[in-house]
Amino acid sequence: MGLQGKQLAIATAAVVLAFLVLIALVATIGGGLKSYERSEIAIADIDISAEALGIADALLNVTTYLDNSGDAKSGEIDVLVKAYDADTNLLVASNETKVGEIGGRKTKSASTCLKLPKEGGYRLQIVVFEDDKGIRRAETKIYGLSRLEPPSVAKISIREIDFLVEAVEAESERDREYAIINTTLYIDNLGKDVDGLRALVKARDNETRLIADRNWKDLEFLKEGTTSLRYAELRVLNGRDYVFEIQIWQSERIIKESSGMVLLSPFVNRTVVKEAKEKTVEISPKVAISDFIPPGAPVPEPAPYPTPAPAAPGFETLYAAFALFVAFILLLKKRRGDV
From 110, 129, 147, the end of a domain falls on 147
Residues 160 and 62 placed together within one structural domain of the fold: no
Residues 93 and 193 placed together within one structural domain of the fold: no
Helix (H) or strand (E) holding 68: strand 57-68
Q: Which residues contact 337 (CB under 8 A, 6 or more apart)?
A: none
Does the pTM surpass 0.85? The reply is no
Residue 183 or 320, more confident: 183
Range of the domain at 204: 156-267
Provide the 3-class DSSP secondary structure of residue 335: helix
From 213, 246, 267, the end of a domain falls on 267
Report pLDDT for 174. Answer: 80
Residue 262 lies in a domain: yes
Residue 135 lies in a domain: yes
Provide the 3-class DSSP secondary structure of residue 148: coil
Residue 35: pLDDT band by 50, 70, 90 thresholds? Answer: very low
Among the listed residues 165, 248, 284, 264, the one whose alpha carbon sits nearest the alpha carbon of residue 206 = 264
Residues 193 and 255 placed together within one structural domain of the fold: yes
CA distance 9 to 160: 103
From 224, 240, 267, the end of a domain falls on 267
Residue 31 lies in a domain: no
CA distance 139 to 129: 15
For the chain, the first-to-last Cα distance in angstroms comes to 185
Residue 2: pLDDT band by 50, 70, 90 thresholds? Answer: low
Relative to beta strand 77-85, strand 241-250 is: unpaired
Q: What is the CATH number of the domain that holds 141?
A: 2.60.40.10
Residue 278 lies in a domain: no
Report pLDDT for 227. Answer: 97
Residues 165 and 121 placed together within one structural domain of the fold: no
Stretch among 3-17, 48-62, 238-252 having the lowest mean pLDDT: 3-17
**How many domains is the chain built from?**
2
Residues 101 and 174 placed together within one structural domain of the fold: no
Q: Is the pLDDT of residue 285 over 50?
A: yes
Residue 109 lies in a domain: yes
Residue 1 lies in a domain: no
